Structure 1
Amino acid sequence: MKSKFFEEVSKLATAKGFEEKGVEHGMLQLHLYGVLVAQVDESGWMLYTPYEEVFDIMGDIADARKRITEVQYPEGSEPIQTEGQSFGPTLS
């Protein structure tokens, strides 16, 4: 199951001509022209190839991350919390 954030990024990317290829290693895979051009993690951080189209969508992805406060960590990479510590809302 994709997080709300990944669902939103997928919609934004598809509307701008990208093809979403699922989540691998906790990162949403975005293709353009049949080539992997960007990977987005749950924090909104990106690995990317410098295509103009990728630069054009970066602001939209950052805005989506600000709007969607829930974070769904990949299994096994959840932050360790000590008693009384909170990292904000998360999906279970």
Structure 2
Amino acid sequence: MGHVSLRIPRELWHSARTKALREGLTISEVTRRLLERWVAGQIEIGNGEKQPTTLTLARQAFGMWADRDPDVYLAQSRSGLAARDREVEDARN
């Protein structure tokens, strides 16, 4: 392994170092792990704007629950909770 120098804003360095220490890591470990994931294509580093892939996923997800009737879905999700609701209400009184 070789030594490399990086130019990092002081505030970012302190924040990263503090978080790394809390998690029991060194900045070198954090940097290596992030670089490994980036090189493997597991994470993308953009210019800070929303990535087209994120926008595409959001568009695909939009309306994916449209076939569900919200009233029926809510009724089904609440089924069996009436007794629990009564217990909670009784406990409050």
Tell me which protein shows more helix as a share of its residues.
2
Q: Structure 2 length as normaliser, TM-score?
A: 0.23
Q: Structure 1 length as normaliser, TM-score?
A: 0.24
Tell me which protein shows more strand as a share of its residues.
1
| Structure with bigger gyration radius | 2
